[in-house]
Amino acid sequence: MTRQHPVARALELMPNRPGPEAHPALPSPELDRIHIERLHVHGRHGVFAHERANGQDFYIDAEVWLDTRAAADSDDIVDTLHYGHLMRALYEVALHEPVDLLETLAERLAAVTFAFAGPQAVRITVHKPQAPVKLRFEDVSVSVLRYRPEGPEPTAPRRPTARAVIALGANLGDREAAIRQAMDEIEALPGVWPHRRSRLYETPALTTHGVDDSEPSYLNAVMTVHTDLEPHALLRELLRIEDQHGRVRAERWGSRTLDLDLIEHGGLEFADETLELPHPRAFERAFVLAPWAEIEPTATIPGRGAIAALLTQTTDEVRRYRG
């Protein structure tokens, strides 16, 4: 079964255009607002063939009207519009859905905004500073104001149920690009909320025979996310991302374009034929513990203890990657 893009349904259900009379409270008296400015996308929008072929820089502003009182009271991100998720949705549409007109792009971006629960109105402005006009100018933009279509709000937003720790590594190809792209892909998964990312660390290649200096060295990082995916579902997504990056599983601990390990999930302790939590070797690996300690210095591994103390007991070499 083909997996539908998270915003595909929103694009199919373009918002109708009821004016302020359908929303007498908007925008006066004015509700609270979330304002995103100058979201950069290198897109391929335009009526000319060279615009579609070469692309150019676009910038997106989104001004969203909503009621933030529930979130202010609970101090919980699930009670408001997650602007990081909205930015990702806007970015994906502007990057992957080429159109001729800025007006069409702005309309689609408004549609995506209403795929989230909460927004009651949105002003989308799309800037095209490199428009192919042979005159001196700084910018061209199209701005649209849209109100939530009449009808029910989207279903209640998903809420995270656990924090997960994920270790990333690569020693083939463009290691840094692979890890950073994988972080973006993990954070964009449905049912995953971004939390923290470590910096990159470099370590010698570790094989079944120990450290092998003849193999390319690894870049490693650790990220934490919040999720409502159960551990096996999250693991399946990690394996899918590995496959998309050309991971070949010909040899245990062999060189790889990308390695994603689920280290911990909600403090669970269990093992079956496909997954063991916490990861059975994380407690002895400096290339996991060092980046993890950077972003969660007081974290512990169930059954093993504090990662800061565990790190002092490791002997493998790990150093901060300088690029």
> Is 128 assigned a catalytic role?
yes
Pair 237, 191: CB distance under 8 Å: no
Query: Taking the CB of residue 101, how many other CB atoms lie within 10 A of it?
Result: 13
In this structure, which amino acid lies at residue 197? R
Measured between its terminal Cα atoms, the distance across the chain in Å is 40
Q: Which neighbouring-strand residues pair with 163?
A: 226
- Helix or strand holding residue 149 (H, E): none
In our burial notation (b when 16+ CB lie closer than 10 A, e otherwise), range 17-35 reads eeeeeebeebbeeebeebe
DSSP assignment letter at 10? H
Residue 151, C-beta contacts closer than 8 angstroms, at least 6 positions apart: none
Query: Taking the CB of residue 197, how many other CB atoms lie within 10 A of it?
Result: 20
Query: Taking the CB of residue 147, how many other CB atoms lie within 10 A of it?
Result: 23
Strand ranges in 23-66 using DSSP code E only, listed in sequence order: 32-43, 56-66
Three-state DSSP class for residue 294? helix
Give me 269's structure tokens. Answer: 């302790």
| Alpha-helical segments (H) within 13-133 | 49-54, 69-74, 83-96, 102-113
Active-site residue, selected from the candidate residues 45, 85, 128, 245: 128
Pair 6, 112: CB distance under 8 Å: no
Phi-psi region of 164 (alpha: psi -120 to 50; beta: other; left: phi over 0): beta
Annotated catalytic sites, by residue?
128
